[in-house]
Amino acid sequence: MANSTPHDLATLVHNKLRLTKVKATLPDIKVMEDLFDCLYYASMCKEESELIKVTVTFIDPENPDPVPPRYIVAERWSCIEFDHRIAMTTKSLSKLSKAADPASSSLAVYYDEQGSIFIWGMIDQAVHYQNFLNYESETGSEQPGLFQVSVSDIGTLNVLFDYELLATLKQNILVKRYLDVLTIGPISKILKKNADFLKFAVREYIEQVHPSELYADWENFLDGLWIQTFSRLLLRIQNYQHGGALLIADDSADLDVKYKIHYERLTLAMVSYAKAAIDNYVVQRVIETDLQHGKRSVSKALYLHEASSFYHKNGTADEIKGAISFIASQTCVDGVVLFNRSMVSNGFGAVLRAKKMPRKIYVSTTATAAPKSLEVHDPKHYGTRHRSMIAYCWSHPSALGLVISQDGDIRAFSKIDDKLIMWENIKTQQYMTGKSQKQNNKQ
């Protein structure tokens, strides 16, 4: 929705929260409008010459933890109260934001009987929440308060309810949802096809080392590993705030690669991680079965096997993280980072030489690019980086291109049939709906 305001965001979030049927009392719409107004204007302020980045949690100081879980994990959040309440203003937010890095903490806010909003404390352990959203952790505990709002850029507010992204206001654009193109639709199909190298290696390993395991039971896990790794790469590039571009292509036609390399460590690390994960799962299942059948001890060999597979799994997870950082940093050089179909990096600083442009492109409002969701746009309205990617993907139908803007926006390009399709507002973090959260907890 174009030409939107913080009031439009407040209305949308208020309606969505009513539909979730939360047990907590919803604030009046006026309170939410004041909250989003203050955060919106704070996003345009500077503190010590730096733009404001902060997260606030809307949480009742009289009852901050109404339904604690039966088992409380060590890394669970806690509230640290100030000795007095602070009126929430752009100035107080700017000052406190320096002590509340969104990667590690958030500010606790609420309202009084007159509807005035105040800051009453801070919440710790946010690093685990961020790690889960960024696929750096396999688990995440429940989140405090009614909802969270993060200021990530000038005029940009993200509203989250637990692990669900309710809405985003980006300057004057209200984004109601992000497209999950990495798991659904044509782009997902391309990426999963690219995972054939990983799947072939793991299938062979299962047949040789774990013949009792069914490969089909692991295929979804491998698809998820591939997609999550790609998502983490995009997130890492976004964090540089430099902008960049990735191209997955079959050949080097119409490409001038300034820095040619052959870096396959990311792919090989994913193979090693998958093997270690399977080893660890199988040996854990053997131990559990033995104990269920009355065995009172675990053999030394079985224990050592379980420990070594666990440490190997963690070690290869760190290797993947390091390989992602290595590749992401290359986008800080002007030009495109080039991959083959197996996610092997073949160079960076590449210039796209294709010149032929389509007369029009189609922007898809759905991940599946259904015909009814396509909107016609003029490619000349986009910048040089986008136009060069459009021209290349138009001339090379099997290519997949992604452009990351300095402000963090990600756009994907691919030629489907006779149309050049562009997707924007792409979901990269591990946001989950309430339904998927319940399914995840059961697993």
Model pLDDT, residue 239: 87
- Provide CB contacts within 8 A for 50, sequence distance 6+: none
Q: What is the mean pLDDT of residues 203-228?
A: 94
Q: What is the mean pLDDT of residues 334-348?
A: 94
Domain boundaries, the chain: 6-177, 186-423
Model pLDDT, residue 16: 87
pLDDT of 357 over the 90 cut:
yes
In percent, how much of the chain has pLDDT > 70? Answer: 96
pLDDT digits (tens, 9 = 90+) for 368-397: 999 999 999 999 999 999 999 999 999 999
Model pLDDT, residue 165: 84
- Domain boundaries 186-423, CATH class: alpha beta
Model pLDDT, residue 139: 67
DSSP conformation letters of 341-397: TT--EEEEEEEE------S-EEEESSTT--GGGEEEE-GGGS-HHHHHHHHHHHH-T
Model pLDDT, residue 178: 86
pLDDT of 443 over the 50 cut:
no
Q: What is the mean pLDDT of residues 38-43?
A: 95
Q: For 391, phi and psi rounded to 5 degrees?
A: -65, -40
pLDDT of 141 over the 90 cut:
no
Q: What is the Cα–Cα distance from 313 to 279, expressed in whole angstroms?
A: 9
Q: What is the Cα–Cα distance from 81 to 73, expressed in whole angstroms?
A: 21
Model pLDDT, residue 34: 97
pLDDT of 424 over the 60 cut:
yes
CA distances from 298 to 292, 293, 382 (A): 12, 12, 63
pLDDT digits (tens, 9 = 90+) for 41-63: 999 998 888 889 999 999 999 99
Using a 10 angstrom Cβ sphere, with 0-12 exposed, 13-18 middle and 19 or more buried, the burial of residue 229 is: buried
- Taking Cα atoms as reference points, which of 120, 112, 115 lies closest to residue 61? 120
Spatial contact of 379 and 358, defined as CB atoms under 8 Å apart: yes
Is the pLDDT higher at 370 or at 443?
370
pLDDT digits (tens, 9 = 90+) for 152-195: 889 999 998 877 888 999 999 998 888 899 999 999 999 999 99
pLDDT of 442 over the 80 cut:
no
Q: Which of 98-102, 110-114, 124-128, 260-264 is least confident? A: 124-128
Each as own residue / partner, the long-range contacts of residues 39-42 (CB below 8 Å, 24 or more positions apart, any chain) are 39/6, 39/93, 39/149, 39/151, 39/157, 40/6, 40/155, 40/157, 40/169, 41/90, 42/90, 42/93, 42/94, 42/97, 42/151
In percent, how much of the chain has pLDDT > 90? Answer: 70
Model pLDDT, residue 140: 66
pLDDT of 425 over the 50 cut:
yes
CA distances from 265 to 42, 119, 251, 367 (A): 43, 47, 20, 30
Read off the amino acid at residue 281: Y
Residue 401: Cβ within 10 Å count:
23
Residue 85: Cβ within 10 Å count:
16
- Edge-first strand order for the sheet with 410-416 is 255-263, 345-352, 336-339, 244-248, 400-404, 410-416, 419-423, 361-364, 374-377
pLDDT digits (tens, 9 = 90+) for 271-280: 999 999 999 9
Average pLDDT, the chain: 90
Confidence of residue 432 (pLDDT cuts 50, 70, 90): low
Phi-psi region of 416 (alpha: psi -120 to 50; beta: other; left: phi over 0): beta
Spatial contact of 225 and 274, defined as CB atoms under 8 Å apart: yes
Q: What is the mean pLDDT of residues 328-345?
A: 94
Is the pLDDT higher at 294 or at 257?
257
* HEC sequence for 303-355: HHHHHHHHHHHHHHHHHHHHHHHHHHHHHHCCCEEEECCCCCEEEEEEEECCC
- Taking Cα atoms as reference points, which of 321, 355, 334, 344 lies closest to residue 235? 321
Tokens 């924007």, residue?
424
Structure tokens at 13: 């979030």
Q: Which of 22-36, 283-297, 338-352 is least confident? A: 283-297
Q: What is the Cα–Cα distance from 433 to 425, expressed in whole angstroms?
A: 17
- Provide CB contacts within 8 A for 163, sequence distance 6+: 132, 133, 140, 143, 430, 431, 432, 437
Confidence of residue 441 (pLDDT cuts 50, 70, 90): very low
